[in-house]
Amino acid sequence: MGERWWPDPEACVVGVAFLLTLCHGAPMVDPCEPTNCSMAGPVIRFPFRRRDQPAHCGYKGFELSCNGNATLVELPSDGRRFVIRSISYENQRLYLDPESCPLDTFLNLNLSNSPFELHDRIQLWERTFMLLNCTCEVPTTYTYCYDYAIRCLDGQGRHFFGVSAGYCVSYLNKTCISMRTQVVPLAFITGLCSGHDYDPNLVWGTPDCRSCKDGLCSFSGVNRQVTCVHTTGSGVSIGVFLFISALATIAKLYLSWKWKKDKETEDQMKIEKFLEECKALNPERYSYVDIKKITDQFKTKLGEGGYGSVYKGLLPSGIEVAVKVLIRTVGNVGEEFVNEVQTIGRIHHVNVVRLLGFCADGKNRALIYEFMPNESLEKFIFPKDRRGPPLGWAKLHEIAVGIARGIEYLHQGCDQRILHFDIKPHNILLDHNLTPKVSDFGLSKLCSKEQSVVSMTVARGTVGYIAPEVASRNVGNVSYKSDVYSFGMLLLEMVGGRKNVDTSVENTSQTYFPEWIYNHFQHDLELGLNIIEEQDANIARVLAVTALWCIQWYPVNRPSIKTVVQMLEGSVENLVIPPNPFVSTASIALDSKPRVHGTILPAISESETQEIN
């Protein structure tokens, strides 16, 4: 018997559409038809829905209500309702009534549980600005600081500006106060005014219907995927369109068993889908042929590891780069590659290495970073001679603060918390000014700022830097405090100028350096370490005491990375020697709840973190 024939699903759609057209004399009632609160009010259609419409008519979080003729939106975390002046579906913007949402309220809206944002995602190449409220007409004392006057907000002797972030912070006029802790793009500043009037507006990114004509889109099929709605002159309603789409989806699902895709093809499709979704991140995409040209046929190798090899390269623009070429192993669908593009592609901080481009060409994967001429911190803190750090204690302290600030940005400065899970000297790169940059995000995970704790089924990281709770489920939940532990172990190696575990030392008491240095503090002994100047001794003590707080056995006893930065920048007199971090797990009851710098956080499952699998 020959293979059974099934009709083409697209032909089914055409047939159903023809029948529906013939039967159009009996129109279908569509509860999701566009509506409004008044004749002059904004049209309410997908992704929005009016509160009295069924839930399937709109996207989650896009519910609007009517109060007389006014159209209202409620922000869940803020608990307040605002009058909507108009909605631009083409630009995906929600324009609020200025009287219902004054400037101070607008700039401090809590949008954490809302689909809306104050502005579009900041691109890597975009200049960012601080929002300032000044009594003077010139916000900075430096000629080359770029500022933008927001004239529609001026009044009562106050002047409002957007001033470029970065070095200009040091040149701000003393009469200026910051109106918002986070920086914003120029488009947000220019969008605050419409002509001479203040014009508050919010944007939404998901669902993204900007590619649809007039922004028309809707749920389609049993999978409730968002697709564009193509209107025609046939008079077929949106409800009919949804019905046809559902039939087409069912037909395609019914036939899908006939096709089994090759594993490599499936992997490539996952990568391509991810990269399509991440176009806004803006690292440039290169072909494998481009990678060969950039690296001069992989001429200069900078290093290698289990992930692959790193080569020196030169972009067509003349910028020196480091190109990491990843090895594709059996069963690996490119998780490390996706992790790095997803994580580092969206951030830009002076203490985090910058991703300039990537290659996803067939089986070939490569990541292009800014070139770090001084390589990794590992080279500087493990010198062959043991007479102290070759960088000098002041520079070592500066590097430690820079690393901590980089980790602080990952934990608090991004839209989502980024947990690195592999903080170690090898992953701290140094530029030409010896500015530290946190690198290698292959093991990182993303989670929301509210859900700070993740449960893990397998350990991540490098032996010697892995926090106890990452290695053993009996210690506690894995959280951002795991990165704090790894940073503490790194700090101790910076202080000692040696690996924390060194079996080659003459005195066996020095084999495990963290315990040796804690015992010295406990018995009020000099650290030694060939330190002569008192100022250097103070720096070494600050670094060591901070590190010992970071490596406390229980996560709740460790400080947050923000507190770590404060400890590193504070006075040595204010530091307190922490409890013994090396007590056995048997000596403290597991149900005890010590409190020093932390609180108990609710655990979330690994599936709840936003990770590309």
Q: Give me the DSSP letters along 22-58.
A: HTTTSPPP-TTS-B-SSTTSPPB-TT-EETTS-GGGS
Burial grade of 537 (CB within 10 A; 0-12, 13-18, 19 or more): middle
Report how far Cα 395 is from the mean position of its chain's Cα atoms: 29
User: 460 versus 478: which is more confidently predicted?
Assistant: 478
The two three-digit tokens of residue 139, written as one number:
């916000």
What residues are paired with 63 via a beta bridge? 49
Residue 555's CATH number: 1.10.510.10
Look over the chain and give the mean of its residue pLDDT values, rounded to a whole number. Answer: 77
Confidence check: pLDDT of 248 > 70: no
Alpha-carbon distance 352 to 360, whole Å?
23
- Based on the domain organization, do 338 and 462 belong to the same domain? no
Side-chain-side CA neighbours of 413 within 13 Å: the count stands at: 21
Alpha-carbon distance 360 to 267, whole Å?
11
Q: How sure is the predictor about 507, in pLDDT bands with cuts at 50, 70 and 90? A: low
Q: Residue 194: helix, strand or coil by DSSP? A: strand
Specify if 170 maps to a domain. Answer: no
Alpha-carbon distance 403 to 96, whole Å?
41
Look at residue 456 in the predicted model and tell me its pLDDT.
Answer: 62
- Based on the domain organization, do 251 and 329 belong to the same domain? no
199 and 153 in contact (C-beta within 8 Å)? no
Question: What are the φ/ψ torsions at residue 247 (nearest 5 degrees)?
Answer: -60, -40
Helix 561-569 × helix 481-496 angle, to 10°: 30
CA distances from 347 to 145, 342, 412 (A): 23, 10, 12
Which of 314, 343, 370 terminates a domain? The answer is 370
160 and 134 in contact (C-beta within 8 Å)? yes
Lowest mean pLDDT among 95-99, 249-253, 444-448: 249-253
Residues making up the binding site: 324
Which structural domain, as residue segments, surrounds residue 282?
A: 264-370
User: 378 versus 20: which is more confidently predicted?
Assistant: 378
Residues, the chain: 613
Q: What is the pLDDT of residues 118-128, one digit of tens each?
A: 888 777 667 78
| Strand ranges (E), 476-582 | 478-479
User: 501 versus 270: which is more confidently predicted?
Assistant: 501
- Rounded to 5 degrees, what angle do the CA atoms 212, 218, 222 make? 130
Specify which of 3-12, 291-300, 326-335 reaches the highest per-range mean pLDDT.
291-300
What residues are paired with 355 via a beta bridge? 369
CA dihedral defined by 8, 12, 13, 19, rounded to 10 degrees? Answer: 160
Specify if 122 maps to a domain. Answer: no
Q: Residue 385: helix, strand or coil by DSSP? A: coil
- Cα torsion angle, 21, 26, 32, 36, sign: positive
Question: What are the φ/ψ torsions at residue 178 (nearest 5 degrees)?
Answer: -75, 135
Specify if 111 maps to a domain. Answer: no
- What pTM, to 2 d.p., does this model score? 0.52
Residue 333's CATH number: 3.30.200.20
87 and 48 in contact (C-beta within 8 Å)? yes
Nearest residue to 314 via CA among 286, 337, 339: 286
- Pairing mode of beta strands 603-604, 453-454: parallel
244 and 13 in contact (C-beta within 8 Å)? yes
Q: Residue 500: helix, strand or coil by DSSP? A: coil
- Cα torsion angle, 66, 70, 75, 81, sign: negative
- Based on the domain organization, do 277 and 216 belong to the same domain? no
Specify if 113 maps to a domain. Answer: no
Split into its structural domains, the chain has a count of 3
Query: Tokens 């697709």 correspond to what residue?
Result: 227
Residues making up the binding site for ATP: 324
Look at residue 455 in the predicted model and tell me its pLDDT.
Answer: 59
Q: Residue 379: helix, strand or coil by DSSP? A: helix
Q: What is the mean pLDDT of residues 315-335?
A: 73
Question: What are the φ/ψ torsions at residue 572 (nearest 5 degrees)?
Answer: -65, -30
- Based on the domain organization, do 585 and 570 belong to the same domain? yes
Q: What is the pLDDT of residues 177-198, one digit of tens each?
A: 888 877 888 888 888 888 778 8
Q: What is the pLDDT of residues 404-429, one digit of tens each?
A: 999 999 988 877 788 888 999 999 99
User: 72 versus 123: which is more confidently predicted?
Assistant: 72
Q: Residue 509: helix, strand or coil by DSSP? A: helix
Q: Residue 184: helix, strand or coil by DSSP? A: strand
Lowest mean pLDDT among 65-74, 456-465, 534-543, 572-581: 456-465
Confidence check: pLDDT of 377 > 80: yes
Question: Active-site positions?
Answer: 422
Tell me the percentage of the chain whose pLDDT exceeds 90.
24
Q: What is the mean pLDDT of residues 15-36?
A: 61
Specify if 160 maps to a domain. Answer: no
Alpha-carbon distance 433 to 431, whole Å?
5
Helix H or strand E encompassing 363: none
User: 583 versus 321: which is more confidently predicted?
Assistant: 321
What residues are paired with 365 via a beta bridge? 326, 360
- Based on the domain organization, do 335 and 402 belong to the same domain? no
Look at residue 65 in the predicted model and tell me its pLDDT.
Answer: 93
- Based on the domain organization, do 531 and 587 belong to the same domain? yes
Look at residue 241 in the predicted model and tell me its pLDDT.
Answer: 59
Specify if 162 maps to a domain. Answer: no
Look at residue 596 in the predicted model and tell me its pLDDT.
Answer: 37
Q: How sure is the predictor about 394, in pLDDT bands with cuts at 50, 70 and 90? A: very high
Q: How sure is the predictor about 572, in pLDDT bands with cuts at 50, 70 and 90? A: confident
User: 44 versus 415: which is more confidently predicted?
Assistant: 44
Which residues are within 8 A (CB) of 578 and not within 5 positions of it... i.e. 6 or more apart? 545, 548, 549, 552, 557, 596
Confidence check: pLDDT of 457 > 50: yes
Alpha-carbon distance 564 to 408, whole Å?
9
Which residues are within 8 A (CB) of 590 and not within 5 positions of it... i.e. 6 or more apart? 474
Which of 331, 354, 370 terminates a domain? The answer is 370
Which of 258, 286, 313 terminates a domain? The answer is 258
